[in-house]
Structure 1
Amino acid sequence: MHHAFVFNEVAVLVRHWFEIDLGDSHMEHGARVEVRLVSPQPRRGTESAAQVITVDQPVWRADLFDRLDGTPGAFQAAHFHPHFVGVEPCPRHWAEQVKAAPWDWLHTQLSDVADIVSTAGLELNDPITANEQVGAEVNVIVAAAQTRAATQCRSKQQCYAWTRDAQVSVHTMLDTLARPDLLDRDRVSPWVMV
């Protein structure tokens, strides 16, 4: 399940995410926030016709994650990806503020979405308007992300309900684990049983 905030040139997607570390099989989950570009589409139909909205090219991602084997709400695995190479995120970037004050950090980052896009090596046609539009909704976006925090997901069933669309991704993770013997098979059982 995604929350999508779509503006003229950018969109901010918010969801809960579940991830298995491929190296040691520890698990992480929490709020994932992505900035993507909105691709212009040709106008269709009459003045009242529904229009195509395409939100595809990823620009930036924040993963405000807890480790399942850690302290809830400690954001031990919180990180961000300041750019993408095609559809693949760059390596994780760690910043103390992301762990210490993730919601304040997220608010600050999204308040200058034009800088996020520029830092990722891309351009907006109207960066001032993008900042105004996202800035006007930044409190709502951060509040949506807080509803998908790890502390709001209190069971494997709830985590699965929020991430069932990621079934293929979870199976890809399971198939590429370096240490499958360390995997908490009970925790991943909802994704495996389907």
Structure 2
Amino acid sequence: MLYAFGFERLGVVVGDLYLVDPSLPAGREGPERGVRLEVRMFERGDAGGSLYKAWPITLERPLWRADLLESVASPPGSLDRAHYHPSFTGWGPVDDVFTPELSADPVGWLADRLADPAALLAEAGVGRGEVGPHDVADLQAAQPDIMRFVEQLIDTAADGLQARPPHWEQLASARISWL
């Protein structure tokens, strides 16, 4: 499942995620499931000279990411592997960042971060001139709606309704998600 919130140049995408990465360090081995949220640049393409054609919309470079994940072996809803990436280099995120505040209350921590988009963008190294003039205020106003979808996806992932592998496959490595 993928949800997208687009503003002028800035957007937020939220999706469920099932991940198996054999290169994870000890203590983080095994499959993970949960929700990934990315703040990204959005680009509107040329509709080809007509006001009635659909606009091409591109989800461009990621700026910031939160991974509200849990080990599949952990109790549902534990979010015991929640971390974030404060910035990106191109398409690649910086290292995983685990903080006590994020571990203690992943959903509340994310809600607080989205409530202050200016600070989030500053942490990502994004200048105000890179985003639209109303993007920060629009993202801040949309925060309750975004969080409603985050919480819904966390619940469906914990229930095994999203963020799951195909039942017939044993996967040694996988990333099942739009994000």
TM-score calculated relative to the size of structure 2: 0.80
Answer with 36-45 or 83-92: which moved more: 36-45
Query: CA separation in 2, counterparts of 1:79 and 1:123?
Result: 24
Q: Which structure has the highest helix share of the two?
A: 1
Distance 1:67 1:137, change over 3 A: same
- Counterpart in the other structure of 1:142: 147
Give the Å deviation of 1:14.
0.5
- Counterpart in the other structure of 1:123: 127
For structure 1, the residue ranges without an aligned partner over 5 or more in a row are 162-169, 176-187
- Counterpart in the other structure of 1:179: none
- Cα RMSD for the two superposed structures: 2.8
2:86 paired with 1:86: no
Query: CA separation in 1, counterparts of 2:64 and 2:17?
Result: 16
SS at 1:49's partner residue? coil
TM-score calculated relative to the size of structure 1: 0.74
- Counterpart in the other structure of 1:178: none
2:56 to 47, 52, 55: 52
Contact map agreement 1:153 1:159 (CA 8 A) in 2: no
Give the Å deviation of 1:85.
1.0
For structure 2, the residue ranges without an aligned partner over 5 or more in a row are none
SS at 1:97's partner residue? helix
Query: CA separation in 2, counterparts of 1:142 and 1:83?
Result: 21
SS at 1:147's partner residue? helix
Distance 1:11 1:40, change over 3 A: same
- Counterpart in the other structure of 2:68: 64
- Counterpart in the other structure of 1:96: 100
Larger radius of gyration: 1
Contact map agreement 1:72 1:151 (CA 8 A) in 2: no
Give the Å deviation of 1:128.
5.7
Q: Residue deviations 1:18-38, cap 9 Å, x none?
A: 112424541211011000011
- Counterpart in the other structure of 1:3: 3
Identity %: 27
- Counterpart in the other structure of 2:138: 133
1:154 to 152, 159, 169: 159
